[in-house]
Amino acid sequence: MSTTNSQDDEDTFKILIATDIHLGYLEKDPVRGNDTFVTFNEILDHAQKKEVDFVLLGGDLFHENKPSRKTVHSCLASLRKYCMGDRPVQFEILSDQAVNFHYSKFPWVNYQDGNLNISIPIFSIHGNHDDPTGADALCALDILSCAGLLNHFGRSTSVEKIDISPILLRKGRTKIALYGLGAIPDERLYRMFVNKQVTMLRPKEDEDSWFNLFVIHQNRSKHGATNYVPEQFLDDFINLVVWGHEHECKIAPFQNEQQGFYVSQPGSSVVTSLSPGEAVKKHIGLLHVKGKKMKMQKIALETVRTFHMEDVVLADHPDLFNPDDPKVTQAIQAFCMEKVELMLDNAERERLGNPQQPEKPLIRLRVDYTGGFEPFSVHRFSQKYVDRVANPKDIIHFFRHREQKEKNDSDLNFGKLISRPASEGMTLRVEDLVKQYFQTAEKKVQLSLLTERGMGEAVQEFVDKEEKDAIEELVKFQLEKTQRFLKERRTDAEEEKIDEEVRKFRESRKKNTEEEDEEVREAMTRARAHRSEDAVLVAASSDEELMDTGMKGTDDSDDGFPATLSRGRGRARGRARGARGQNSTARGSSRRGRAFRSLKPEPTLNSSKSYSEAIIDDDSDLEDISIVPSSKVNQRLPTTSSLSKRGSQSQTSRGVDFESDEDEFDPFKSTATSRRTK
């Protein structure tokens, strides 16, 4: 029996899954400043105690694109504490690591580095908060990768074509193809999927024996016509998609009926907005994979600050509130105090069962005062809860809806109005605001040379990435391009004809979105180069000032006064210590190569698979789903590499188990569990 358990353990991957940790969120807040660091330590502590094979992160490890020194220091301390040790890593990598980590200075997985002692490898893609930027296109994850504490994969800088090459992992007889795609602007990725410019590569050898795991960080819910990624765009050979960026926890795998794969949305591990999706209990997942079967075990996070939220519609209580009553405002305030006290009592009861939870909860009461009511003073109301609530300034949120004159009262659906109040539940981007402004602006302030989209992206770079020269360089670049266009057209020097040609040129650029993207990228490259030149000039001028000041201080004074240095303005001069002659491609490329075949993504309306499902319920509150794909003929290309095989049976079944927080792990019903024998 022990031999069977040992064999199961040798063939089973244990993967801890988390997304959107947002280290450094509100780090300067005296109450909530350490929430993200405490929860990150809890996640890594679970990974260490569960003895997982590796940790998979779905983006947004950091909240800021340029995290503070405190945030980076805390992250490094946690990774060093929990991820380094003597416990051996039980799986191997079969793919060409020089391809998987080709953006890294050290293109191989960290646990195979002879200078490091890694016990828990971490694989992570970047999100939209910590994406690569700047002249060298670096992000905070690249710092962790260079330090050997994390494996950053899934990077793609091309806007013309994306080839996603998987990291091929093997443990015993189980093989996983790990695909990753870091955050890309949703509209651009949507267009690339439509134009079939995204390709997921598959191994030529035994392609049906791999468990295909894909981690992505994009909008899953529809925020606009093209501002999201439909699940139907993804290939149907995928077994499980781990979806980052969405903060609502829906970690239990949900099957997409059309494509056949399962989607797990772990959600964030910290509350970053006081919205209904964030009020759902936070979890991470422990994924077990054996062969083509998988099982997701939910693990509740105990250190997350509790968040209670409630909606109130004053018009629904005509017996309590009359808009004509002079004391109605006091009555509303007393009613809101009762609601807040009730939520505080619920939060206290929840916290009593868990001493690790922070003491002060997050409370949100949204009040719809449509119908002639007046709001009371939120600041005065908040002062009563400063010592009891973590967000005293944001407890009450008043909102009301615009009256729709053309519609009858019977047509109004107040339920829908309440679910999406103004300024809440919706995230507006800077480029959307720029576009909206120019659409509603007067004609005299409309753009005549630039396009709204290009200006919006330049402003977005200025706000998010602190590219101070982004707008100026975009204007210069577009001005030069327009001048060249007019010279080529040999336009007459008449103001009306010039204006007409400029208008036509602008309209043609608006239609060609790819060319417009190229213009913005060129302008951003110029801005980054300009910033780098400025930095060099500032450093050089500082050194010259220091040298001149020092020389003046050593001169003899004719007046007999001692020579003194005036106020120092010098900055420390950074000396680049050069690369030490390491061949980055020599390691990890040999004997790890595997042949791939390109699979062109062709989204179809009807899936080509047929399934037979058998759902068995028992007393343990476990749902066991066994999925058997129908047989199909696959024409395979000849293999170029041969690997030793430990089993001849073909794995054709694919199954999923879901487990609640209290259930014990029973990955496969035919065998009992056991700890891994080293």
Confidence of residue 485 (pLDDT cuts 50, 70, 90): confident
pTM: 0.66
Tokens of 191: 């267009």
List the catalytic residues. 129
215 phi, psi to nearest 5 deg: -115, 130
Closest CA to 42 of 272, 289, 356, 345: 356
Q: Contact at 8 Å (CB) between 58 and 123?
A: no
For 129, other C-beta atoms within 10 Å of its C-beta total 25
Average pLDDT for residues 282-301, to the nearest whole number?
A: 97
Tell me, what's the pLDDT at 475? 81
pLDDT tens digits, 649-672:
434 444 455 444 444 444 444 444
DSSP state, residue 361: P
Q: Which residue has the higher pLDDT, 610 or 327?
A: 327
Tell me, what's the pLDDT at 563? 41
Residue 330 reports pLDDT greater than 90? yes
pLDDT tens digits, 542-598:
555 555 544 444 444 444 444 434 444 444 444 444 444 444 444 444 444 455 555
Tell me, what's the pLDDT at 591? 42
Q: Which H or E element spans position 652?
A: none
Closest CA to 170 of 54, 323, 285: 54
Q: Which residue has the higher pLDDT, 603 or 75?
A: 75
Tell me, what's the pLDDT at 493? 66
Closest CA to 267 of 242, 297, 240, 244: 244
- Taking the C-alpha atoms of residue 450 and residue 510, their distance in angstroms, rounded to an integer, is 9
- Taking the C-alpha atoms of residue 229 and residue 217, their distance in angstroms, rounded to an integer, is 10
Q: Which residue has the higher pLDDT, 628 or 97?
A: 97
Tell me, what's the pLDDT at 418? 43
Tokens of 169: 């992992």
pLDDT tens digits, 365-409:
999 999 889 999 999 999 999 999 999 999 999 998 765 544 444
Residue 242 reports pLDDT greater than 50? yes
The pLDDT mean for the chain works out to 78
Confidence of residue 41 (pLDDT cuts 50, 70, 90): very high
Q: What is the DSSP string of 433-446?
A: HHHHHHHHS-GGGS
Average pLDDT for residues 500-528, to the nearest whole number?
A: 74
Residue in the block written with tokens 């679910």: 419
Average pLDDT for residues 150-166, to the nearest whole number?
A: 93
564: Cβ–Cβ under 8 A, 6 or more apart, which residues? 553
Q: Contact at 8 Å (CB) between 304 and 282?
A: yes
Q: Contact at 8 Å (CB) between 424 and 275?
A: yes
β-strand partners of 55 = 16, 122
- Taking the C-alpha atoms of residue 361 and residue 570, their distance in angstroms, rounded to an integer, is 47
- Taking the C-alpha atoms of residue 567 and residue 376, their distance in angstroms, rounded to an integer, is 54
In angstroms and rounded to an integer, the radius of gyration of the C-alpha atoms of the chain is 29
Q: Which residue has the higher pLDDT, 505 or 568?
A: 505
Closest CA to 180 of 196, 144, 156: 156
Tell me, what's the pLDDT at 472? 79
Tell me, what's the pLDDT at 184? 95
β-strand partners of 523 = none
pLDDT tens digits, 455-472:
777 777 777 666 667 777
